[in-house]
Structure 1
Amino acid sequence: MKGFEEVFIVAWIVFGLYMLVFMVVGADLWSGVRKAKRRGEVRSSYGFKRTVDKLARYYNLLIALTVVDCMQMGGVWYLDGYYGYHIPIFPVITLIGAIGLGCIEVKSIFEKAEDKVRSDYQQVLMLAGEIAKHRTDPEEIAKAVVDYINKGSGK
């Protein structure tokens, strides 16, 4: 029964890590909404869609890290059961990944809204430069606009 208790505890730890990542993304969303409100921007579904896309990417990463942890913990369990090595079963890799994602979100929360707007302006200026460079070739202008739109939508 000792093995099942460990698995149960590890499952709760992994669940807790997943929920903490969800909460820190929620805190970033709340921070972003407050910053947009302070700047007088309209909150649209586009920003919320980006948060959902970010959550999907984060959970894809966490699931992959958890699979690697399962392999690692299976090896530790085998060494413990058959060779007497007493290494604790713990999802180390998932923990490191969750800490990394949390740090990214905390940095995003503390970023100034003006810095994010400045980055958007720089992208628009790059698009304007591309359009000016190819002002006689409509196909190149269309290509530059499509590239800009695709980059903005995360494609």
Structure 2
Amino acid sequence: MEKVRERISSLRAEVEAAQTKSEEYEVESKRLAQEQLGLEHEIVSLTNKNRNLEVELNETLEKMKALKGLEEDDDLLKKEKETAQRKINLLEQELENSDKSLRETTKNFREADVKAEHFERKMQQLENIIVNQERKNEELKLKNQELQVLLDEFNAGLDDF
């Protein structure tokens, strides 16, 4: 009887540990979902910034074409061309940086997505373990009740002697 109680206590401890782990995984899953949402927002933001930079780059390129047509005023043309070229270089550099950042963010998003899937699988495994443990716990309760009935019958039989 004592062994049964110890086993039940042990199973209860295991169930509690599994529930604790499940809760931890749920919290981690929520955190990763939040992180994923943040990364998605960052991707959208970087995409919009990239689009705006491309528009600004196209506008700057159009200005540069217009400046090439004004070769009469050579000094002014050279200054404006240099200014435009610097701006283009800066914009191209910003565009490259934005593209690099977008690639890194996409990579991080994919990694976060893989981690989220991993934790979802872990969470499902833990939920399966919990269900199995609960089922085993119910079976043990039924066996305990049956053993209690047998013990009571045995004690009653001993009292009759």
TM-score (norm 2): 0.30
The normalised TM-score by structure 1 is 0.31
Which gives a bigger RCO, structure 1 or 2 (Cα 8 Å, sep 6+)?
Answer: 2
Q: Which has the larger radius of gyration?
A: 2
Higher percent of residues as helix:
2
